[in-house]
Amino acid sequence: AQKITQTQPGMFVQEKEAVTLDCTYDTSDPSYGLFWYKQPSSGEMIFLIYQGSYDQQNATEGRYSLNFQKARKSANLVISASQLGDSAMYFCAMREGPSQAGTALIFGKGTTLSVSS
Amino acid sequence: EPEVTQTPSHQVTQMGQEVILRCVPISNHLYFYWYRQILGQKVEFLVSFYNNEISEKSEIFDDQFSVERPDGSNFTLKIRSTKLEDSAMYFCASSESQTGANVLTFGAGSRLTVL
């Protein structure tokens, strides 16, 4: 079974509009972390935002926010006021288990976001 | 800003040849990882490394693969006898600590092309 599901292969948005990239996850572990990474055409993986399973509030980082719905097991990324430079592939990832590093991040298949002017 | 550096950026090799991909993790990081991404596809976990030993590996990481931290700064991935399907972008990553956030910092990747 897929641990991380990103159902939108591609999304299109106009500059300055908001966009939501979907991510659902599957785990039976009560302790986990959810991450979003951005991969521009240059190929590097850039960390955007993190949400812990016990965090009471949705994570925010500048124009990025994470709509965390624990009961639905969803962790959608919301990008407000899209910019041309936001055009990239976006990956949702999950780490299972308590606070122990070294546990692998498992990635979804990604969503390609295209921002037009 | 500290970064993870990877060399080479691109390597072309013949099937059956050995390849070594090199990574210099961020200096105060303790946990190291290799991931691969076949063109246009998902990023797949290969192996994680802590305290000079493998802490976790995926089913992809078979006997053809090995990792090593030979000198306290470099972290290498060796593929003993490359196959066509090993063609991919290989990402090294490192992380600092045992906090819940455990953010992985990725290198720019090494593109491997097997002919």
Chain B nearest CA to A31, separation (Å): 9
pLDDT digits (tens, 9 = 90+) for B70-106: 887 899 999 999 999 999 999 999 988 755 677 899 9
Could you give phi then psi for residue A112, rounded to 5 degrees? -90, 120
A56 alpha carbon, distance to own chain's centre: 18
In angstroms and rounded to an integer, the radius of gyration of the C-alpha atoms of chain B is: 13
Give residue B39's pLDDT band: very low, low, confident or very high (50, 70, 90): confident
Burial class (CB in 10 A: 0-12, 13-18, 19+), B78: middle
- Using an 8 Å Cβ cutoff, are B104 and B92 in contact? no
* Helix/strand/coil for A11: strand
Query: Which residues are A69's β-sheet partners?
Result: A74
Going through chain B in order, the beta strands assigned E by DSSP cover 5-7, 10-13, 19-24, 31-37, 43-50, 53-57, 65-68, 75-79, 88-95, 105-106, 110-114
Query: Mean pLDDT, to the nearest integer, of B37-56?
Result: 90
B45: nearest CB among A45, A50, A106? A106
Give pLDDT, residue A57. 94
Chain B nearest CA to A109, separation (Å): 4
* Cα angle A39, A41, A45; round to 5: 25
| CA distance linking residue B74 with residue A54, whole number of Å | 35
Among candidates B115, B98, B113, which has minimal Cα distance to B31? B98
| CA distance linking residue B35 with residue B106, whole number of Å | 9
pLDDT at A102 over 50: no
**Average per-residue pLDDT in chain B?**
92
Contact status of A43 with chain B (Cβ, < 8 Å) = yes
pLDDT above 90 coverage of chain B, percent: 75
pLDDT digits (tens, 9 = 90+) for A40-58: 998 899 999 999 999 989 9
pLDDT digits (tens, 9 = 90+) for A75-99: 999 999 999 999 999 999 998 876 5
Residue A64 CA neighbour count, 13 Å, CB half:
18
A105/B106 Cβ within 8 A: no
Could you give phi then psi for residue A104, rounded to 5 degrees? -65, 145
Give pLDDT, residue A98. 63
Chain A nearest CA to B2, separation (Å): 13
* Helix/strand/coil for B86: helix
Give pLDDT, residue B2. 72
